[in-house]
Structure 1
Amino acid sequence: MGLSLQQFVMVAGAHLLALLSPGPDFFLVARSALLRGWRKTGAVCFGIACANGVFIALAVGGFAALHRHGLAFALVQAAGCAYLFYLGVLMLRHARAASIEAHVQDGSPATQTGAWHTRFAMGFASAILNPKNALFYASLFALLAARDAPFGAQIVYGVWMFAAVFGWDLLVAMGIGHPSVVARFTRHSATIERTTGAVLLAIGASVLTMLAREWL
């Protein structure tokens, strides 16, 4: 398979640095963990990981069609901005001082079944509409291809990165969604909602500004 330990360390290190850079996905995970606890946030984390898996599969398969100055990339950026604006406005409009512990302890089957799909979809949409994810994996696997990394090794790297995304986001959720942390923020759920909404709006506005400067 030609798996090089030195190359694996390079790939894993670059991916770790990318994970440590906070973006929309991080704020969604943090918000969900504080409002619902880390167990229910697992669906958001899995959605984010699956979206990353799509980009990884496309990059490994050589279908990285998104280029920084291409129309497809601009359209993905615009769609991502629209989604961030939608989430931000939604959180600002519906922010209220609800009991976080009630959300965490809610065990009704209907809530668990419907909410899991909603949380998964939110995480998946956030990550799949983030053009930075597409660029990162396209650039990384293009570099690996240029260095003649075997296809089998690239698959191993891809599986590792999928697991790393899911594991890292779940670790963040577990840390933020710990019962003691959740209890501390119980009375501030409205502030958490408004802050997250404002951050998502700010990120969307900054990306939209750069997009307008480039194309207008």
Structure 2
Amino acid sequence: MEQFVAVALAHFFALLIPGVDFFLIVRTTITNGWRNATGACLGIATANASIITAVFSSIALISSPILLSAVQLFGGGFLIFIGTAFLCSPALIDPDRTSSTEHTTWQRNFGLGITSGLLNPKNILFYVSLAAIVGDAAPLVLLGYGVWMFTVLLGWDIFVAVALGSRRALAHMGRVLPWLSKAAGGFLILFGAGMLVELACHTIG
């Protein structure tokens, strides 16, 4: 029980720290509405579940320096590409719109969420560190930890999307929404550039 509490608290506190996934959710919520942003939320949670499964199954494989470097390289490039696309795209789209492209938008956001989650080395490093602590637990216990973290992550991300995408929130933040949208794109570019610089310094060093 004590171990579960420690795992749950560590995971939740990690969720409270804004990162790549948070800004992706912010941007998709502002531009596509919270309903379409749930695609990104589910994609991110699915990616995290995949990493958790891989880490708990074979920590040696997933923590390979070569794999982590590849993730950092492609992840940095992906974030710069997406951040640039966000900066160049329209700042706002009516979140209540209904059109034939809404389903496609949800699927696209789902794909972005999976890609963002899988190509974020911070996620891998966090779960590798966690697995090193609880790796001796029984398989059913590890499964329980994985299900718990997936559920909490998905619930938290959807909460963020709904809170930011509600009519009341959008009405109160009407003047700053375009700036928030651009800022989210800018943060993604900074995160991506930071990942590439960190990789380059590590390679040179």
TM-score, normalization by structure 1:
0.88
- CA offset digits 1:174-208 (Å, max 9, x no partner): 11112111123445554233211111111112222
SS where residue 65 of structure 1 aligns? helix
Aligned partner (choices 55, 61, 79) of residue 59 of structure 1: 55
Equivalence for 1:83: 78
Whichever residue aligns with residue 93 of structure 1, its letter is C
SS where residue 101 of structure 2 aligns? helix
Matched, 1:37 2:28: no
Matched, 1:126 2:121: no
Whichever residue aligns with residue 125 of structure 1, its letter is T
Q: What is the alpha-carbon distance in structure 2 between the residues aligned to residue 106 and residue 43 of structure 1?
A: 16
Do the aligned residues in 2 keep the contact of 1:56 with 1:137 (CA within 8 Å)? Answer: yes
- CA offset digits 1:94-135 (Å, max 9, x no partner): 244x4x4x2x22122x22221111010011111110011111
Task: Work out the percentage of aligned pairs sharing the same amino acid.
Answer: 37
Matched, 1:14 2:10: yes
Equivalence for 2:105: 115
Equivalence for 1:182: 170
Do the aligned residues in 2 keep the contact of 1:37 with 1:182 (CA within 8 Å)? Answer: no
Equivalence for 2:189: 201
Q: What is the alpha-carbon distance in structure 2 between the residues aligned to residue 134 and residue 78 of structure 1?
A: 14
Cα displacement (A) at 1:59: 1.5
SS where residue 126 of structure 2 aligns? helix
Whichever residue aligns with residue 165 of structure 1, its letter is L
Q: What is the alpha-carbon distance in structure 2 between the residues aligned to residue 75 and residue 194 of structure 1?
A: 28
Whichever residue aligns with residue 118 of structure 1, its letter is R
Aligned length: 204
Equivalence for 1:211: 199
- Please, what is the CA RMSD of the aligned residues? 1.7
Matched, 1:191 2:187: no
Do the aligned residues in 1 keep the contact of 2:26 with 2:181 (CA within 8 Å)? Answer: no
SS where residue 37 of structure 1 aligns? helix
Q: What is the alpha-carbon distance in structure 1 between the residues aligned to residue 172 and residue 146 of structure 2?
A: 38
- CA offset digits 1:39-87 (Å, max 9, x no partner): 221111000000001001112212552337x121111001110001001
Larger radius of gyration: 1
- CA offset digits 1:136-160 (Å, max 9, x no partner): 1122122112xx3111101000000
Equivalence for 1:48: 44
Cα displacement (A) at 1:18: 1.1
